[in-house]
Chain A
Amino acid sequence: MTDSDVRIAFNEHSGAIYRFSWRMTGSPSAAEDITQDVFLLLLRRPDQFDPRRGQLRPFLIGVARNLARKWLLRESRWNELDDEQLVAEPAEMEGRDLTESVGAAVSSLPATQREVLLLAHYGGFSLDEIARIVNIDVGAVKARLHRARQNLKRTLAPLWLCESRGG
């Protein structure tokens, strides 16, 4: 992969990588750093990407996911032990608009549930692709995604009622 290939890849995928990192960390500066590091890795070690093993975007998102995980661990915000948790921490909704409230609810999910939900809903990845990115089996992806969605259905229900009443 040449420098110009990396530039094409940057134009195609940097937005998706930034948005995933932003949603995962909740920090614009961390998302910038992660996006930068993903493409610096591609410039430095282009051999790390093997097209025979899959497409470029899942590979780049996988790198971003690992960097985001390291960032969250450093910030003590990676709650792996809560993977089985069915009820997310209650998110503070009062005084927030709809966008912020949905963001707060997703951010309050355990990190392992959150990453799977972000990859499925916002990234548009298939269960197989998510399994490869997160390095777990497809059954575990399904279970995490189900738990994440169940959590959100409950935490966001009061907000839906307010919105549908025009409140």
Chain B
Amino acid sequence: MKSLNDEQLDRMLDCWVAPPAPHSIESRVFAPHIPWWKRFFSKISPGIASPTGRRRIRKKKGTV
């Protein structure tokens, strides 16, 4: 069974280039008008930190 040597494998691995990180991450991390805990929890569950999200997941009055 054919197998590559170390140098050939390293050259092939170098072909797999990852894309650059999107700029949007920086604004998500350092958004100055939103406190860090709101940014942290809003991604986990919109209902925890976002008033809009909370309204969206709250049951209507009178429903079972």
Contact = CB atoms under 8 A, between A and B. Distances in A.
Interface of A: 3, 7, 10, 14-15, 17-19, 22-23, 28, 31-33, 35-37, 39-40, 43-44, 98-99, 102-103, 106, 121-122, 149-150, 152-154, 156-161
A10 B37 contact: no
A115 B3 CA distance: 22
B1 A35 contact: no
23 contacts: A10-B29, A14-B25, A14-B26, A22-B19, A28-B19, A31-B21, A32-B21, A33-B43, A36-B43, A40-B29, A44-B36, A98-B12, A102-B13, A102-B16, A149-B6, A150-B3, A152-B9, A153-B9, A154-B1, A154-B3, A157-B3, A160-B4, A160-B12
B2 to A, nearest CB: 4
Nearest to A18: B21
Contacts of B26: 10, 14
Contact of A44 (B4, B5, B16, B37): B37
B22 interface: yes
Interface residues of B, number: 30
Given A154-B3, A161-B2, A36 B25 contact: yes
Q: Is the interface of A mostly helix, strand, loop or mixed?
A: helix
B40 A99 contact: no
Interface in B1-52: 1-6, 8-10, 12-13, 15-22, 24-26, 28-30, 36-37, 39-40, 43
Nearest to A161: B2
Contacts of A32: 21-22, 24-25, 28
Given A39-B29, A102-B13, A160-B8, A15 B21 contact: yes
Nearest to A16: B21
